[in-house]
Amino acid sequence: MASLQTSSLLFSSPSRCSSSNRTINAAIHVRKFPRVRFADPKQTTKLVLEGLQLKEQVLKHENTDLYNNNHSAAAAPTASTTQLYALLEAVADRVEMHANIGEQRNNWNALLLSSINMITLSASLMAGVNAAAGTSVLALNISSAILFSAATGMLLIMNKIQPSQLAEEQRNATRLFRKLQSEIETVFALRDPTEKDVKETMEKVLALDKAYPLPLLGAMLEKFPKKFEPAVWWPRNVVQSQNPRKPKSQMGNNVNGWSEELESEMGEIIQVVKNKDIEDYERLGSLALKTNKILAVSGPVLTAIAAVGSAFVGHGSVIATVAAVAAGSLASTVNAFQHGGQVGMVFEMYRNCAGFFNKLEDSIEATLGERDWEKRENGVVFEMKVAMQLGRSLEQLRELASKSALYRSNGEPIDEFGCKLF
């Protein structure tokens, strides 16, 4: 209870003055708060600063450790990683080189084809005009003979190097080097490279360099071999494992994705590829090779006959006129069919396709040659790869293997090709 006395002067007007006092009593309830003891401000500030410094030191130590770990990982890569990165750069450079040279050689084919045909037709026209004149015009005789001779020489060079085949070789090399580049990038994405990865990659690069050389002189592939042979762009020094197979009781029904059924399936796929796909492409490749040989000889022979005949046009010799005009026209036709139809490119395509099936066969045989299932590539993944390479689903691949086994048991050749891509 608190008593407050106040003077009435506080509530009266200035004109009224009174000496009497009024007493006003009011009751005010004040809530009691707990007493709080405050520490010394200087001591509190000191504790806060020490806590902040300690926190800063911990964060700095953690950041330093993280930086050191990252810096050590980036500054000290393994030797295999460094070597594989160097090979990756070399492969990327080869992709660019083969792509550029392939485009250049494709231009060679188009320019030489049009140039030789224009020269041959122009010479044939001159020989015809000279024969129609009734008298020998020396200038026309000499001009047509020179043009036919030039066409003969150019055809010999063009048929020797086969620009359309050269361009196809570079296209195949570009595709295969890009595939190898993708394989190397996959290794970096999945795991750390090993010495085995470096060795295998280098062997693949060297095999591709040998299969698809860049220079012409001294390294160009034989364009007219005696026998059709599939292309080989992979290292074939595969050594089969000598490890004895574990007993079936120890292996189980499924080890690393492999089983007896999957092994039998891969064996049947090899038989189908050998007996149908490889045999068919070797037959087509041999046919393309023979056709290209005949055309490569026919073109220069016809232009040479036309050159000789054109020298005697206008001297009353009908045979010379017919030889010059007809042989020149036939030479243009042969040249257009051979190089315009790119018979050399077709031969190279068959050679590459047959090589693809040989590579698939080698891959399956090398995998099955490893007797220890645990050391093989995962069977499920391998089966999927084979199916994709043949353009089939897993169900279609298994159906093909079953069909092959049925036909072989009956002693009949299977009537279906293994590949559905080409």
- What is the C-alpha R_g of the chain? 45
User: For the chain, first and last CA: distance in Å?
Assistant: 110
pLDDT higher than 70, residue 57: no
How does residue 151 score in pLDDT terms, banded at 50, 70 and 90?
Answer: very high
In the prediction, which pLDDT does 395 show? 95
Asked if residue 247 has pLDDT above 60, the reply is: no
Mean pLDDT (whole number) for 25-52 = 49
* Average pLDDT for 310-332: 85
CB 116 within 8 A of CB 158: yes
C-beta separation of 352 from 172 below 8 A: yes
Residue range 273-299, pLDDT digits in tens: 999 999 999 999 999 999 999 999 999
Nearest to 380 by CA among 258, 296, 292, 263: 258
CB-based contact 192:82 (threshold 8 Å): no
Share of the chain above pLDDT 70, in %: 77
Distance of CA 6 to CAs 14, 278, 422, Å?
16, 124, 116
Higher pLDDT, 15 or 376: 376
Q: Looking at residue 138, what is its pLDDT?
A: 84
Using DSSP, state whether 394 is helix, strand or coil: helix
| Per-residue confidence (pLDDT) for residue 129, from 0 to 100 | 87
Residues forming a β-bridge with 2: 26
Q: How many Å apart are CA 353 and CA 229, to the nearest integer? A: 11
Determine the average pLDDT of the residues in 12-40.
44
Higher per-residue pLDDT: 240 or 394: 394
Please give the mean pLDDT across all residues of the chain: 82
* pLDDT computed for residue 318 by the predictor: 82
Report the pLDDT value the prediction gives residue 217, as an integer from 0 to 100.
Answer: 81
Within 8 A by CB and 6+ apart from 162, the residues are 223, 292, 344
Note the pLDDT tens digit of each residue in 110-150: 999 999 999 999 999 998 888 887 677 788 889 999 999 99
Contacts 24+ apart (CB under 8 A), 346-349: 346/288, 347/165, 347/285, 347/288, 347/289, 347/292, 348/165, 348/168, 348/169, 348/172, 348/231, 349/168
Task: Please tell me the predicted confidence (pLDDT) of residue 216.
Answer: 86
Tokens of 122: 């122009």
CA distances from 194 to 69, 178, 206 (A): 22, 21, 19
In the predicted structure, residue 60 carries a pLDDT above the cut 60? no
CA atoms within 13 A on the CB side of 400: 25
Among 206, 269, 198, CA closest to 232: 206
Q: Is the pLDDT of residue 8 over 80?
A: no
Give the pLDDT of residue 69. 54
Q: Is the dihedral of CA 73, 74, 79, 85 positive or negative?
A: positive
Beta-bridge partner residues of 23: 5
Domain-wise residue ranges, the chain: 77-228+255-409
Burial 359-388 (b: 16+ CB within 10 A, else e): bbbbbbeebbebeebeebeebeebbeebbe
pTM of the model as a whole = 0.76
CA 366 to mean position of chain CA atoms: 23
If residue 385 lies in a helix (H) or strand (E), which one and from where to where? Answer: helix 379-389
**What is the DSSP secondary-structure string of 17-62?**
----EEEEEE----PPPPP-----HHHHHHHHHHHHHHHHHHHHHH
3-state secondary structure 8-24: HHHCCCCCCCCCCEEEE
Residue type, 267: G
